[in-house]
């Protein structure tokens, strides 16, 4: 029998706020956090972190890219929220998802090199930009000497980190896991690249209405940034130390489309298989699912494919669907972790937040998208989807 895996701590750094309460209220409000970006000479918009106090000392800040600072902040908040579990440090794991690592530092140092030559480049650049910088920093902050892994499966990265953490706990390899993701891709070069890829919304005159998952008028995603982490333990261990349990991770599955670098499989086969296998792993039926926190990027093809995969798996009785990206934008490698926490908060409150900016379904999408106002639901297991560039698919099943 599989041991139950409890979530005992959660921490977030999001454009809607850096506390669980702020995040939940922002999702319930159903209004986009997209704005014109601070510090950009050209007209660029996204969902930016504002008002976050730097973590650690001045030395820490100078030696960490924004993605790692967000990750350390959210990770330590999750650890404290869990009551600072005192596991054997050699049996405590840190699993971090990040699609690109220290992109802001990489771009800045490239500019420095172009302007001042080799002498103008920060010697710490390799250490600040490496994708495992956040995992390394968290291991040093906590003194944990167990496994510290970094997953770079684009937009599925942090969902995979959480799923792999669940599997490590089930197997008995470790006793406590800090898992999640962090991303800070709001840099000129990255935004230019995604614009040229035709992946971003072009609603420059109306940023707050740009991200509109599953809406007939969607034209691309809005870039976001942030981090989210959970502490997971075997339920029996959490109960033994009298920890508060905020939910359970019941199931996880991952697949690869093996199809295209940027496009999902047009039939949604990989996405559908990930969802189905996650339900099997959780031991639940499609009819048991109370709601789906969809990947829902607001891109024409991805939303269409995900909707088709949901229809095929759940049929006419598909549960209500929401996408957090209408409010938060796309947090890339951190998206899965933020959305998993959003799903747990929804279950805890028996409520599905609305999908911001969604007004009308595209013809042929026969899914029930929650929009305009929150919806009360009967508590039951929920599904959280994360599908990434390169055809990486991850689905998690959770319950309150």
Other C-beta atoms within 10 Å of 123: how many? 6
- To the query of whether residue 89 is one of the catalytic residues in this protein, the response is no
Active-site residue, 259 included? no
Do residues 37 and 48 make contact, with C-beta atoms less than 8 angstroms apart?
Answer: yes
CA distance 310 to 296: 12
User: What backbone torsions phi and psi does residue 303 show, to the nearest 5 degrees?
Assistant: -65, -40
Show the tokens assigned to 127. Answer: 């250490």
364: region left, alpha or beta (phi > 0 left; psi from -120 to 50 alpha): left
On whether the CB atoms of residues 3 and 250 are closer than 8 A, the answer is: no
Alpha carbon distance 318, 311 (integer Å): 7
Residues 6 or more apart in contact with residue 337 via CB below 8 angstroms = 97, 158, 159, 161, 162, 179, 180, 181, 227, 228, 229, 230
Query: Active site includes 81?
Result: no
The one catalytic residue in 295, 358, 371, 392 is: 295
CA dist 385 and 51 (Å) reads 29
Q: Which of 81, 330, 358, 371 is catalytic?
A: 330
d(CA 362, CA 216): 4
Antiparallel, parallel or unpaired: β 148-151 and 92-97: parallel
Beta strand residue intervals within the chain, DSSP E: 5-13, 35-36, 45-46, 92-97, 148-151, 176-184, 225-234, 247-256, 291-293, 321-322, 351-352, 375-376, 382-388, 392-399
The residue annotated as part of the active site, out of 18, 47, 81, 155, is: 155
Cα–Cα distance, 28 to 193 (Å, whole number): 32
SS3 255: strand
Find where tokens 């933020």 sit. 338
Return the active site residues.
155, 295, 330
């Amino acid at each position: 029998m599989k041991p139950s895996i409890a979530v005992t701590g959660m921490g977030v750094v999001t454009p809607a706020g850096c506390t669980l309460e702020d995040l939940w209220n922002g999702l319930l409000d159903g209004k986009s956090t997209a704005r014109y970006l601070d510090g950009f000479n050209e007209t660029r918009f996204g969902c930016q972190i504002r008002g976050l106090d730097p973590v650690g000392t001045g030395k820490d800040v100078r030696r960490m890219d924004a993605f790692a600072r967000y990750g350390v902040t959210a990770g330590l908040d999750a650890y404290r929220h869990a009551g600072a579990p005192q596991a054997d440090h050699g049996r405590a794991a840190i699993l971090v998802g990040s699609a690109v690592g220290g992109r802001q530092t990489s771009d800045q140092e490239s500019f420095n090199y172009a302007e001042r030559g080799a002498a103008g480049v920060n010697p710490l650049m390799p250490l600040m930009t490496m994708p495992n910088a956040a995992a390394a920093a968290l291991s040093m902050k906590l003194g944990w000497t167990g496994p510290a892994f970094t997953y770079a499966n684009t937009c599925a990265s942090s969902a995979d980190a959480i799923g792999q953490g669940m599997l490590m706990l089930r197997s008995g390899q470790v006793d406590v896991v800090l898992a999640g993701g962090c991303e800070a891709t709001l840099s000129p070069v990255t935004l230019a690249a995604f614009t040229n890829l035709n992946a971003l919304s072009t609603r420059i005159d109306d940023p707050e209405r740009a991200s509109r998952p599953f809406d007939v008028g969607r034209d691309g995603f809005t870039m976001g940034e942030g981090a989210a982490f959970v502490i997971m333990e075997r339920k029996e261990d959490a109960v033994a130390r009298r920890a508060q349990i905020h939910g359970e991770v019941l199931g996880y599955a991952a697949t690869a489309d093996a199809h295209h670098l940027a496009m999902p499989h047009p039939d949604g086969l990989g996405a559908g298989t990930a969802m189905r296998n996650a339900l099997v792993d959780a031991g639940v039926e499609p009819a048991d699912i109370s709601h789906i926190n969809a990947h829902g990027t607001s891109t024409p093809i991805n939303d269409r494919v995900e909707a088709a995969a949901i229809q095929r798996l759940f049929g006419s009785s598909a549960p209500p669907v929401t996408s957090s990206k209408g409010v938060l934008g796309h947090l890339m490698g951190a998206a899965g972790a933020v959305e998993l926490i959003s799903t747990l908060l929804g279950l805890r409150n028996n409520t599905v937040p609305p999908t911001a900016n969604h007004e009308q379904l595209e013809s042929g999408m026969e899914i029930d998208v929650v929009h305009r106002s929150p919806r009360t639901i009967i508590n039951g297991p929920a599904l959280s989807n994360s599908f990434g560039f390169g055809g990486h698919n991850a689905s998690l099943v959770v319950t309150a």
